[in-house]
């Protein structure tokens, strides 16, 4: 009886086990088939995306160079490899002399090459480099953006090279044109002013004295504008340094601007340390102060407070003009020192100006070895600051 019962029981257990195993195998096989289909779809999508990426990289005229964390080339598109000036940049062993800085003469040190800066984790945009032989140099606007490691892929950076040679040449041609025309205008203006002085010195012109003074004032303004055009076109000014008290220069310009400020309902306050002696060109630094004070008055149409300060710090002699006027956006601040730039608000409200005051001031201050900057917020006001080395 025991044998009769055990045999069917054992066979039943074997049958159930076989059924379970078969079902499990069938499920695993179905899962494997589904995984295989998913992998095929993923592979197809990956191939499609790779093809799209290759097509985009081949189509764009921008040089694209992808490097890993050690600076080795991961990817370089056709525009990068086809450009003779950029092809050498792909050489990981290349060092100093490979690229030139913005002055087209100074070789960029190996540590400051785009690939070295990118692998060091630095992100940058619109950096100007020159590449190629001296007689066929090309200008490139270079940018770098890093990416983190993910999915087993190590980190690196994408470096882009945009050929801006035509733009640089066009800007240089514009500056040459402006400088040439300005020089041609300065000679007759100087002659006009000279003859006006002779006429004003002669007796018998009392009935037209006021009109002659208006002519002289406008001719002097036009000559000042022409000189500004020449300065910004050449990006240099002639300086005649001498021992000067910066505090006295600021006080003189503030006193001269008081009537104009009062006429627009502005309060002009002077806050200076006495004295602030340094070696600068007094006429040029006065021109900078005059430009900054004039801007503060023009861009404060609703009255308010303008504070002119000058003091000594470890960095040098600091002069700042702070107003409570219209202010500027961050984008406008970035372009404020660009030649002929005028904000949209100034154009809408018909505030007069040629967009030369800040560029000329920057040229003068940097010619003295100093620096100039803006700190502004729309509706709050603007603070213009320049620093001169103490000598």
Q: At 211, which CATH number?
A: 1.10.287
Q: What is the pLDDT of residue 189?
A: 84
Q: Which two tokens stand for residue 15?
A: 């049958």
Residues 346 and 263 in one domain: yes
Residues 270 and 370 in one domain: yes
Q: For the chain, give the mean pLDDT.
A: 82
Residues 155 and 173 in one domain: no
Tens digit of each residue's pLDDT (9 = 90 or more) over 155-185: 888 888 988 888 888 877 777 777 777 777 8
% of the chain residues with pLDDT over 70 = 88
Q: How confident is the model at residue 333 (pLDDT cuts 50, 70, 90)?
A: confident
Residues 13 and 87 in one domain: no
Q: What sign has the CA pseudo-torsion 148, 153, 156, 157?
A: negative
Q: Which of 222, 390, 210, 362 is nearest to 288 (CA)?
A: 362
Please report, for the domain that includes residue 125, its CATH number: 3.30.450.20
CA–CA gap between residue 377 and residue 349 (Å, rounded): 18
Q: What is the pLDDT of residue 77?
A: 82
Omega within 30 of 0 (cis) for the link into 275: yes
Residues 287 and 374 in one domain: yes
User: What domain range is 359 assigned to?
Assistant: 242-388
Between vectors from CA 349 to CA 221 and to CA 288, what angle results, nearest 5°? 40
Residues 222 and 255 in one domain: no
Residue 391 or residue 25, greater confidence: 25
Name the DSSP class of 154.
P
Q: Is 59 left (phi over 0), alpha (psi -120 to 50) or beta?
A: alpha
Q: Quick check: 351 pLDDT over 60?
A: yes
Domains identified in the chain, total number: 4
Residues 159 and 185 in one domain: no
CA–CA gap between residue 160 and residue 139 (Å, rounded): 13
Place of tokens 């300005």: 182
| Close Cβ partners of 362 (under 8 Å, ≥ 6 residues apart) | 337, 372
- What pTM, to 2 d.p., does this model score? 0.58
Q: What is the pLDDT of residue 348?
A: 58
Residues 205 and 67 in one domain: no
Which residue, 182, 209, 234, sits at the end of a domain? Answer: 234
Residues 246 and 357 in one domain: yes
Residues 175 and 144 in one domain: no
Q: Quick check: 319 pLDDT over 90?
A: yes
| Close Cβ partners of 250 (under 8 Å, ≥ 6 residues apart) | 270, 272, 289, 308, 310, 319
Please state whether beta strands 304-313 and 266-272 pair in parallel, antiparallel, or not at all (unpaired): parallel
Residues 209 and 142 in one domain: no
Q: Quick check: 345 pLDDT over 70?
A: no
Tens digit of each residue's pLDDT (9 = 90 or more) over 49-101: 766 666 666 667 788 888 888 878 888 888 888 888 787 777 655 544 578 88
Q: What is the pLDDT of residue 95?
A: 47
Which residue, 234, 256, 289, sits at the end of a domain? Answer: 234
Which residue, 11, 43, 59, sits at the end of a domain? Answer: 59
Residues 201 and 334 in one domain: no
Q: How confident is the model at residue 251 (pLDDT cuts 50, 70, 90)?
A: very high
Give the range with max mean pLDDT: 101-105, 219-223, 303-307. Answer: 303-307
Q: What is the pLDDT of residue 310?
A: 92
CA–CA gap between residue 117 and residue 72 (Å, rounded): 13
Q: Which of 11, 122, 135 is nearest to 85 (CA)?
A: 135
């Amino acid at each position: 009886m025991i044998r009769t019962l055990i045999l069917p029981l054992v066979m039943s257990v074997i049958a159930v086990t076989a059924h379970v195993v078969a079902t499990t195998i069938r499920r695993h096989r179905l899962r494997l088939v589904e995984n295989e289909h998913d992998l095929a779809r993923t592979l197809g999508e990956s191939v499609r995306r790779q093809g799209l990426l290759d097509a985009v990289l081949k189509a764009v005229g921008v040089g694209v160079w992808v490097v890993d964390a050690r600076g080795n080339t991961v990817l370089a598109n056709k525009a990068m490899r086809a450009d003779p000036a950029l092809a050498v940049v792909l050489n990981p062993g290349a060092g100093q002399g490979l690229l030139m800085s913005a002055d087209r003469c100074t070789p960029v040190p190996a540590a400051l090459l785009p690939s070295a800066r990118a692998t060091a984790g630095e992100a940058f945009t619109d950096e100007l480099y020159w590449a190629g032989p001296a007689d066929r140099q090309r200008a490139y606007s270079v940018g770098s953006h890093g990416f983190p490691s993910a999915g087993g892929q190590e980190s690196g950076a994408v470096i882009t090279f945009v050929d801006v040679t035509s733009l640089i040449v066009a800007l240089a041609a514009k500056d040459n044109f402006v400088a040439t025309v300005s020089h041609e205008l300065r000679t007759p203006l100087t002659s006009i002013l000279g003859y006006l002085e002779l006429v004003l010195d002669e007796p018998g012109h009392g009935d037209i004295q006021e009109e002659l003074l208006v002519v002289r004032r406008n001719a002097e303004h036009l000559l000042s504008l022409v000189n500004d055009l020449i300065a910004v076109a050449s990006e240099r000014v002639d300086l005649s340094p001498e021992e000067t008290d910066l505090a006295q220069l600021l006080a003189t310009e503030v006193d001269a601007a008081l009537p104009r400020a009062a006429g627009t309902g502005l309060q002009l306050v002077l806050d200076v340390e006495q004295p602030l002696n340094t070696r600068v060109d007094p006429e040029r630094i006065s021109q900078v102060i005059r430009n900054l004070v004039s801007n503060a008055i023009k861009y404060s149409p609703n009255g308010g407070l303008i504070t002119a300060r000058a003091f000594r710090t470890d960095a040098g002699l600091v002069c700042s003009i702070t107003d409570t006027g219209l202010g500027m956006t961050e984008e406008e601040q970035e372009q404020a020192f660009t030649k002929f730039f005028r904000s949209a608000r100034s154009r809408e409200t018909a505030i007069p100006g040629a967009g030369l005051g800040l560029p000329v001031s920057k040229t003068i201050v940097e010619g003295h070895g100093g620096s100039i900057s803006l700190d502004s917020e729309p509706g709050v006001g603007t603070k213009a600051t320049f620093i001169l080395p103490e000598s």
